[in-house]
């Protein structure tokens, strides 16, 4: 094996590890508050090597977002397969339960929130839409639910984001009870 081939092999092995470190770093600090050096430090590599793997900060954030949505898809599939319920709404509910468990890992939740806040960055907006497209298409194809039920499923997920990030479950007021009625997160 030539030295060049081993470098490419090493880079390909490192990319997912760096993307995972980026997911954690960007989830904590957001796009604007996180530097490539922060991600490199978290990944245990030099900033120069991070830039070799991902030539722009946007591409690093996109890799993190793609890793986030890949985890979401795996969880949704697992939820759908684990249920004995075969009705469209039953499968959607099982997928929703799996997602609620998943966002107990606040990295995934916060990265999505940060991505929404910088969706005007073309590469990030495109990656966010691609992730939402994948989740929506999965929910539709896996369940054969109506478009309205799939829309409700995605909207419910966004409400869950709001409840968790704002700490609504911990507010003992009527408005908070209205928003969080019937919703709980691990």
Query: Residue 43 above 70 pLDDT?
Result: yes
Report pLDDT for 3.
52
- Report d(CA 1, CA 3) in Å as an integer: 7
Pure H helices in the chain: 3-29, 36-43, 47-53, 57-82, 88-102, 106-117, 122-143, 147-166, 174-180
Query: Residue 153 above 90 pLDDT?
Result: yes
Cβ-count burial of 139 within 10 angstroms (0-12 exposed, 13-18 middle, 19+ buried)?
buried
The pLDDT tens digits for 68-88 are: 999 999 999 999 999 998 899
Ordered by where they begin, the domains of the chain are: 3-180 (1.10.357.10)
Confidence band of 127 (pLDDT split at 50, 70, 90): very high
Output the average pLDDT for the chain.
Answer: 92
The DSSP code for 32 is T
Contact 119, 131 (CB under 8 A): no
Report pLDDT for 1.
47
Could you give the 3-state DSSP secondary structure of residue 83? coil
- Report d(CA 116, CA 101) in Å as an integer: 21
């Amino acid at each position: 094996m030539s030295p060049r081939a081993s470098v490419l092999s090493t880079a390909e092995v490192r990319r997912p590890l760096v993307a995972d470190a980026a997911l954690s770093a960007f989830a904590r600090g957001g796009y604007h508050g996180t530097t490539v050096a922060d991600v490199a430090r978290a990944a245990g590599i030099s900033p120069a090597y991070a830039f070799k793997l991902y030539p722009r900060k946007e591409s690093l954030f996109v890799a993190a977002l793609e890793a986030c949505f890949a985890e979401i898809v795996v969880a949704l599939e697992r939820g759908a397969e684990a249920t004995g319920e075969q009705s469209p709404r039953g499968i959607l509910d099982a997928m929703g339960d799996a997602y609620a468990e998943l966002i107990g890992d606040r990295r995934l939740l916060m990265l999505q929130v940060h991505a929404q806040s910088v969706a005007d960055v073309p590469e990030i907006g495109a990656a966010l839409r691609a992730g939402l497209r994948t989740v929506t298409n999965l929910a539709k194809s896996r369940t054969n639910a109506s478009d309205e039920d799939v829309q409700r499923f995605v909207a419910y997920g966004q409400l869950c984001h709001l409840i968790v990030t704002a700490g609504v479950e911990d507010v003992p007021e009527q408005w908070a009870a209205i928003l969080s009625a019937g919703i709980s997160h691990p």
